[in-house]
């Protein structure tokens, strides 16, 4: 389960950014995750709940995941197509000369912070 290592990396990154910006509490972290990244979202969420609870600035923070669809480009005909539906063979010309152009990413998109004691206003980093 590499999801725990990924969560530790995300938390370290968010804590570093929070420290640089003098942020005491994080409400939400939004992660963009490629459809074919190999990361299992349910495992990621379970690891997040466990690890974030141990962090001083993330104990109640929510991890929101946005899926980036996988797209493949055919080098022979130049068409793009959905990777998961068609795999490595181009559905337009049947060529095997293809490569993934999107869908393997994992990016921290947004960090939502808690401001003040009663948190009337939220700010994104």
Is 123 domain-assigned? no
Residue 112 exposure: Cα atoms within 13 Å on the Cβ side: 14
Per-residue pLDDT, 108: 97
Number of domains in the chain: 1
Coil/strand/helix, residue 98: strand
Between 71 and 1, whose confidence is greater? 71
Is 121 domain-assigned? no
Quote the mean pLDDT of the chain: 92
* CB contact at 8 A, 47 and 3: yes
CA distance 88 to 80: 11
Is 22 domain-assigned? yes
Is 122 domain-assigned? no
Is 125 domain-assigned? no
Per-residue pLDDT, 2: 87
Instruction: Residue 12: give the domain boundaries.
Output: 3-116
- Statement: residue 41 has pLDDT above 90: yes
Dump pLDDT digits (tens) for 55-98. 999 999 999 999 999 999 999 999 999 999 999 999 999 999 99
pTM check: above 0.95: no
CATH number, domain with residue 42:
3.30.2320.80
């Amino acid at each position: 389960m590499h999801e725990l290592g990924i969560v530790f990396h995300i938390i370290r990154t968010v804590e570093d950014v929070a420290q640089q910006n003098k942020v005491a509490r994080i409400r939400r972290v939004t992660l963009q995750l490629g459809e074919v990244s190999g990361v299992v979202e349910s495992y990621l969420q379970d690891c997040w709940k466990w690890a974030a609870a141990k962090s001083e600035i993330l104990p109640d923070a929510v991890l929101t995941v946005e899926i980036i669809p996988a797209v493949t480009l055919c080098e022979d005909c130049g068409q793009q197509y959905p990777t998961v539906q068609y795999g490595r063979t181009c559905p337009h010309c049947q060529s095997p000369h293809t490569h993934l152009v999107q869908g393997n990413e994992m990016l921290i998109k947004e960090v939502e912070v808690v401001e003040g004691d009663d948190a009337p206003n939220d700010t994104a980093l």
